[in-house]
Amino acid sequence: APSRRRPAGGGRALLSPRAGGGAVGDEAQGDDDPEPGTGPVAGGGAAAASVRIKIEQRGDAIVVPVQLSGPRGALAAKLVFDTGATFTTLDAATLRRLGVAPSPVASDTDTAGGRVRRSLAVIEGAAIGAARVAGGLTVGVCEGCGGAGAVGLLGLNFTRHFVVTLD
């Protein structure tokens, strides 16, 4: 099928829970996965309704509205939807607003630009509408990762729980 490029400004995304039911937050995927995670995706898995959201296209970036949660409550934010980012990233100012302190120990992470050392933090959760990952979501602290007016990247540790369709 020919590729269609939507005009600058936006489009839609559809997030549907992955089959198998009972998807959880950042559940461990192996011994090398440092993520905690215990919380369910809202709706309890495959039986949950799909969530349709409006996306913004800013240059080459797709920006999505995300509700972040931390000890100080919920915060509406814009994140770049990044299919290549293993972890979600947030800037330090956003973490402070959530009441979350990054780990004083930095970890090596691989990025499209090469290996970097980055502090990690755990926020309570993130949601796009009713598509929610709770019970702890690991984020990398990254200044300027978001670009396009966003405070970070929405990575695979959130999106892997859903089948995502972009229109």
CB 38 within 8 A of CB 46: no
Average pLDDT of span 161-167? 84
Q: What pLDDT score was predicted for residue 25?
A: 41
Q: pLDDT averaged over the chain?
A: 78
* pLDDT for residue 15 is more than 60: yes
- As beta bridge partners, residue 67 has 76, 127
Higher pLDDT among residues 96 and 10, named by residue: 96
Percent of the chain with pLDDT over 70: 71
Average pLDDT of span 131-154? 92
* pLDDT for residue 118 is more than 80: yes
Query: pLDDT category, 165, cuts 50, 70, 90?
Result: confident
The letter for the amino acid at 53 is: I
Q: 158: closest CA among 12, 23, 11, 20? A: 23
* pLDDT for residue 97 is more than 70: yes
Cα dist from 24 to 43, 51, 129, 160, whole Å: 11, 17, 17, 10
* pLDDT for residue 107 is more than 90: no
Average pLDDT of span 84-112? 91
Average pLDDT of span 49-61? 85
* pLDDT for residue 32 is more than 60: no
